[in-house]
A = this chain, B = another copy of it.
């Protein structure tokens, strides 16, 4: 017995190999380690992720439902492609959903909700005003802050869909972040925080729309520049 069947080496919250593979693949797609449109060959992935074919196929099936992977008939899996239209689509819908979630949140939020916003904003502020501006750290803090804002939203389905769109957006943003563009998003975050704490729904919704739009625009710009550079090389 060389090795126990399920050695508890999983650091994250993955209870099964299937979950582990799902989370890793998801992360690798979001962070660009797996390129858009890349073929995902089971036999190859087996080696990379150290799991068998069955858990891999399960993970890929789930990712297909999440829209991170495409599957075709008897022709296997691919990483979902990326496009300008897709980014625009995701952006528009994310704005709609985040506005809705934020409105509900402002309506139902209690003291704990307020505290969490203040706390996560503070942490985000620290990263945004620091010298190094570590993109990974920023992503984390940014996510925490946005999560705190909509924490008062009680709709399970809204949260589910929002989560998917946030991560889809993150995939696009990551590609842009890798080239690292510092920006003045801080004011927008501040306005967002203040509007939420003031329970001003209209103002908060405007702020979030503005904020997401701006982020998407920057991402789009970098995306185009990269596409341009690639063309020049070829």
The chain A residues found within 8 Å of chain B, CB to CB, are: 15-16, 18, 54, 57-59, 61-62, 64-67, 73-74, 86, 89-90, 92-93, 96, 100, 155-158, 160-161, 165
Contact A155 B89 (CB under 8 A): yes
Residues on the B chain within 8 Å of A161, using CB: 93, 161
- Minimum distance in angstroms from A37 CB to a CB of chain B: 16
Residues on the B chain within 8 Å of A15, using CB: 73-74
Q: Which single member of B61, B92, B156 contacts A62 (CB below 8 Å)?
A: B61
Contact B89 A96 (CB under 8 A): no
In whole angstroms, how far apart are the Cα atoms of A161 and B73 in the complex?
A: 22
In whole angstroms, how far apart are the Cα atoms of A181 and B69 in the complex?
A: 42
- Chosen A-B contacts, 7 in total, with CB atoms closer than 8 Å, are A54-B54, A67-B157, A67-B160, A89-B155, A89-B157, A92-B155, A93-B158
In whole angstroms, how far apart are the Cα atoms of A65 and B62 in the complex?
A: 6
Q: Which single member of B54, B73, B165 contacts A157 (CB below 8 Å)?
A: B165
7 tightest CB-CB pairs across the interface, nearest first?
Answer: A65-B65, A15-B73, A61-B61, A58-B61, A62-B65, A61-B62, A93-B157
